[in-house]
Structure 1
Amino acid sequence: MSQPANPSRPPYTVENYQQDESIGFLVHQVKLRLTQAIDEKISDLDITAAQWVVLKQIALRNGETATALCKCSGCDTGSMTRMLDRLEEKNLIRRERSTTDRRVVLLHVTENGQALLPKVVPLIVEALNYALVDFSGDEFEQAKALLRRMVVNLDARHG
C-alpha cells in the first residue's frame, strides 16, 4: 500500500498544476467519452445516456421524486423537469401525485420503460468494457477503489 499523501506537500501546487493533467480534467474527459460511447451504442433504442441514467434511477427507486433525482445527479430542477418531460413523452415514465401529500409528484417506470431496461443494459456493459479493454482485473478493482476514495474525500469536505 502506498504512503498517504503528505498534507504539507499536496499533489497539486500552483507551480505544478496543468489543467490537461489534473485529476478533475481527466475524470471529465473519461465521462465525456464514455457518455459518447454509450450514446452511440443505445441511439437505435431512441434513448440517450443522460435519459438512461434517470430512467434507471427511477426504476431502482420506484416512486422517486424529481427533487431526489436532482440531489443524486447534481442536476438543476429545470434540466431535470425537461428530462422527465422527454421520458414521459416517450412513454418510459409516468408522473403520479402522492396520495399522502398532493404537493409531491412520484415517478414510475411504465411498461414500455420496463421493457427497454433489459435491452439497454448489454449495450452499456459493452461500452464500459470497451473503456476497460486493456485493464487487468486488479487494475479494474484498483481504479474503482481509487475513484470511491475520491468520492469519500470530497464528501468529507462538508464535515
Structure 2
Amino acid sequence: MPDMNVKTPEQPAQATAAPPRFYEGDTYCKDNSVGFLMKRCLAVLLRNLEHRMQALDLTGTQWHPLIHVLEGCDTVAACAREMQTDAGGMTRMLDRLETKGLLVRERSTVDRRVVHLALTPKGREVAQQVPAVLAEVLNEHLRGFTAQDFATLMDLLRRFVDNGDALAAASNAGPGPKLTLDEG
C-alpha cells in the first residue's frame, strides 16, 4: 500500500494559505479595533464593578487582592504576580485593606524578604461576598447572550490570549505591562 503522506507527481503540493489580515495600516480605524473595543469592555465592566463594590465598602480594585488571598495567595509577591502589578502598587493597596481591618501582613520568620497575607474574620466575610457581586455584574454584561454565544466568546478570548502569548514568546517580549493600583 503506498504511503499517503509522500507526494507523487500526481499529487500537487497544497499551497499554505496566508492567514487573513483583518487590519491594514492605511485603513485602520480605532472604532473597529479589537484592542480598543476590549479596552472599552474592560472600562465599562470596571465602572460597574466599582459601583457595586461600594456596598461592601470596597473600591473597584480593592476586591481583587481579597479574592486572591481568599483563594490561597498568601504572600505579597504572589499576589502582585497574580494581579500583574508592581510591588509598590500592591503595598499601597494592602495598606488600605489593612487600614480597613480586612487583612493582616506578617513578615516570615524564615525569610525576612517574604511577607505573608491573611484575611481577618471581617476580611473573610467581605471576600466571600465578592464572587456573588462579580457574577451579578458579569451576568448583566452578558444579558441577551445565549449559552453558545458565551462559549464562543470564551473560546475566542482564550485563542486571542494564546496568540498574543505566542507572539510575545517568539519576539522575547517578556511579561505584560504592570498595572497600577493607585486609587484615592
TM-score range, shorter chain: 0.7 to 0.9
Could you say which residue in structure 1 is the equivalent of 2:32?
21
Shift of 1:78: 2.1
Range with greater deviation from structure 2 (25-34 or 77-86) = 77-86
1:39 and 2:59 equivalent?
Answer: no
1:116 and 2:129 equivalent?
Answer: no
1:9-50, Cα deviation, whole Å (9 max, x unpaired): 422220232112211111111111111111111202110221
**Please, what TM-score do these two structures have when normalized by structure 2?**
0.76
**Please, what TM-score do these two structures have when normalized by structure 1?**
0.87
Query: 1:82-93 maps to which residues of 2 (within 5 A)?
Result: 82-93=92-103
1:91-135, Cα deviation, whole Å (9 max, x unpaired): 111111123211111112221111112322222211111100010
CA contact (8 A) 1:92 1:113 kept: yes
- Distance in 2, Cα, partners of 1:151 & 1:117: 28
Could you say which residue in structure 1 is the equivalent of 2:60?
49
CA contact (8 A) 1:95 1:105 kept: yes
Structure having the larger proportion of residues in helix: 1
- Distance in 2, Cα, partners of 1:107 & 1:24: 34
1:52-95, Cα deviation, whole Å (9 max, x unpaired): 111101211241x2222222222222221111111111111111
- Structure ranking higher on relative contact order (CA contacts 8 Å, 6+ apart): 2
- Distance in 1, Cα, partners of 2:150 & 2:48: 19
Q: Judging changes above 3 Å, is the alpha-carbon distance between structure 1 residues 20 and 56 closer, same or farther for their aligned structure 2 residues?
A: same
Moved over 4 A (4+): none
CA contact (8 A) 2:97 2:103 kept: yes
**Structure 2 counterpart SS, 1:49:** coil
**Structure 1 counterpart SS, 2:105:** strand
1:66 and 2:62 equivalent?
Answer: no
User: Which residue identity is paired with 2:130?
Assistant: V
**Structure 1 counterpart SS, 2:62:** helix
Query: 1:89-104 maps to which residues of 2 (within 5 A)?
Result: 89-104=99-114
CA contact (8 A) 2:45 2:141 kept: yes
Q: 2:158 aligns with which of 137, 148, 152?
A: 148
CA contact (8 A) 1:62 1:109 kept: no
Choose 1 or 2 for highest CA Rg. Answer: 2
Could you say which residue in structure 2 is the equivalent of 1:133?
143
Q: 2:87 aligns with which of 54, 74, 77?
A: 77
Gaps of 5+ in 1: none
Shift of 1:146: 0.8
